[in-house]
Amino acid sequence: MLAKLTTKNQLTIPKAVATRFAGVEYFDVSTDGSAITLKPLRRSRLEEIQAKLAGLGITEQDVTDAIAWARQNP
């Protein structure tokens, strides 16, 4: 397979490769001087928790209120 480097220094990855990493937005790029290595970066645990809270409709204010309530009601 071939990958093309554009005039804006963007690398186009073949669809057959990209589809193997569904949901991955970022790759760690490294080189040993003669080869380029791309390693997929998965979402961090923090991002997973934030997404879960957002999906449940829990806001920062809800968390602040819960902490205040817990401190008043030991």
Rounded mean pLDDT, 14-37: 90
pLDDT of residue 16: 93
pLDDT of residue 25: 84
pLDDT of residue 69: 92
Do the Cβ atoms of 12 and 4 come closer than 8 Å?
yes
In terms of residues, how long is the chain?
A: 74
Q: Please classify residue 5 by burial: count the beta carbons closer than 10 Å to its beta carbon, then call 0-12 exposed, 13-18 middle and 19+ buried.
A: exposed
Does residue 74 have a pLDDT over 80?
no
pLDDT of residue 49: 82
Rounded mean pLDDT, 1-5: 90
Contacts of 2 by beta carbon, 8 Å cutoff, 6+ apart: 14
